[in-house]
Structure 1
Amino acid sequence: MLHGRPASAGTASGPARIVRGPEDFDRVRRGDVLVCHFTDPAWTPLFGVVAAVVTEVGGPLSHAAIVAREQRIPAVVGVADAMSLLDDSKPVTVDGTAGTVS
Structure 2
Amino acid sequence: MLHGRPASAGTASGPARIVRGPEDFGRVRRGDVLVCRFTDPTWTPLFGVVAAVVTEVGGQLSHAAIVAREQRIPAVLGVTDATSVLTDGSRTTVDGTAGTVRHD
- Structure 2 length-normalised TM: 0.98
Pairwise CA RMSD:
0.2
Task: Report the identity percentage.
Answer: 86
Match of 2:10 in 1: 10
Q: Within 5 Å, give how 1:34-53 maps onto structure 2.
A: 34-53=34-53
The answer to whether the aligner puts 1:74 opposite 2:77 as a matched pair is no
- Contiguous gaps of at least 5 residues in structure 1: none
- Contiguous gaps of at least 5 residues in structure 2: none
> What SS does structure 1 have at the residue aligned with 2:67?
helix
- Provide the aligned length of Structure 1 versus Structure 2: 102
Match of 2:59 in 1: 59
Distance in 2 (alpha carbons) for counterparts of 1:24 and 1:77:
20
- Structure 1 length-normalised TM: 1.00
Query: How far is 1:80 from its partner?
Result: 0.4
Cα offsets for 1:16-65 (capped at 9, x unmatched): 00000000000000000000000000000000000000000000000000
